[in-house]
Amino acid sequence: MQDTHGSQHAASQGQDPDERWMRRALELAARGPLVDANPRVGCVLVSPDGEVVAEGWHRGAGTPHAEAAALLAAGDAARGTTAYVTLEPCAHTGRTGSCAEALHAAGVARVVHAQTDPNPVAAGGAGWLREHGVEVRGGVLAEEATALNRSWTHLATTGFPWVTWKLATTLDGRSAAADGTSRWITSEAARHDVHRLRSECGAVLVGTGTALTDDPYLTARHPDGSLMDTQPLRVVMGERDLPEDAHVLDDAAPTWHLRTRDPKHVLTALAEAGVHHVWLEGGPTVAAAFLADGLVDEVVAYIAPVFLGRGRPSVGDLGITTIGDALRLEPTDITLIGHDVRVTACLKESH
C-alpha cells in the first residue's frame, strides 16, 4: 500500500506519479509466463487518495486478463480508481471479455496504459474508453512495456515470430571438425545456458540435416539431465524422412516435422500456432537460408577458445562478396560463460 503523502512527495520531487505506478504494473507483468501465446500484462488499481486497491497480472492463455484479475480482487472498491495497465486494454471478446468494457462497467474513472496494443484484432480499447467518458492517458513507460513483450510485439507487427539464431563456434568460425564431429565445441556451462534459454522460447528449430547427423533431443534440461517444466515445441524443417527412433520424436515434448525448405512457410505455420519466439539451432545451411531471407532477428553466439583450422563453417554461403555488404549486428550483451564467450547481438535492419 502507498499513502497520499508518498504520492505527493513523488510529485514534489519532479517524478511522474503515473510512472511510479506503471513501474509496479510492469513488475507484475513480468510474473506472467514467457512462453505463452498472449503478452505479459500487469494492472494496478489505485484510489484517488493514492492507495493500492488491487493488483493483477495475466497468468497465461485462457486465464483472466490482468485488468479482469485486478477488478475481481477489488470488487466494488474499483469504482473511482485509476487503472495502470502495461498494455492498452483490449476491445476484443475472445476466451475472455473485453477489458475496456469491464473497466468501464466497474466504474474505473481513469486508465493509464503503457504500450499501445499492436494487435489489430484487440486494439482500440483506449478509444472505446474515451468515447464512454473514461479519462485515458497512453504511452507511459511504453518502451519498457514493449521490451517486456518484445517477441509478442514483433509477431503482432510483422506476422512472423522473433527468431534467435544460436550457434556454437570456434575462434576461427568452425561449427564442426573436418570429420563432422561437433560435440563438444563449447563448455558444459555454455550448454547449460543454452538449455535455460531454450526453455524460454516457444519453439526450437533445426533442419533435417542436424536431426539426422546429431540426433538431438532438442529438449530443455536441468544440469542433472532432468526435463525442465517448460518445453519448447520441437520443429524439424526439411523434406527428408526421420527414422522412427529419432530422439526428437520421443514423448518428452511435442514435435512438428514441416516438409519444406522455405523459412517463411515454417514461420507462418508457427505464427498461426501462437509461437512468437523461435530458437533456431539449425546448421550452417538452415542458418544461411534464414539470414538470406532477413528472418533472423537476434544471434546468440557461444565462442569457444578453440582453433580447428579446417571443418564446417558456422554459416553457409550468404552471397556476400565484399565487406561493404557484410551483415552488421548490434551487440546487446557480452558475457563469459565458463571458458566461452556468449555474444548476443541483433541485426541492425531486422524486418
Query: Could you give the C-alpha distances from 286 to 149, 236, 238, in angstroms and in order?
Result: 27, 11, 9
Query: To 10 degrees, the CA torsion angle through 299, 304, 307, 311?
Result: -50
Q: How far apart are CA 57 and CA 27, in angstroms?
A: 9
The alpha carbon of 147 is separated from its chain's Cα centroid by a whole number of angstroms, namely: 9
Q: Are 69 and 97 in contact (CB under 8 A)?
A: no
Between CA 54 and CA 111 the distance in angstroms is: 14
Comparing CA positions, the residue from 277, 279, 238 lying closest to residue 257 is: 238
Which positions ≥6 away from 202 have C-beta within 8 Å?
35, 161, 232, 233, 270, 274, 275, 276, 277, 278
Selected catalytic residue, list 19, 51, 55, 67: 67
Q: What CA–CA distance (Å, rounded) separates 168 from 303?
A: 6
Measured in whole angstroms, the distance separating CA 337 from the mean position of its chain's CA atoms is 22
| Other C-beta atoms lying within 10 Å of the C-beta of residue 227 | 15
**Type of residue found at 208:** T
User: What contacts 183, CB < 8 A, 6 or more positions away?
Assistant: 214
67 labelled catalytic: yes
124: left (phi over 0), alpha (psi -120 to 50) or beta: left
Question: Which amino acid would we find at residue 304?
Answer: A
Helices (H) and strands (E) in the chain, counts: 11, 15
Indicate left, alpha or beta for 218 from its phi (over 0: left) and psi (-120 to 50: alpha).
left
Catalytic residues: 67
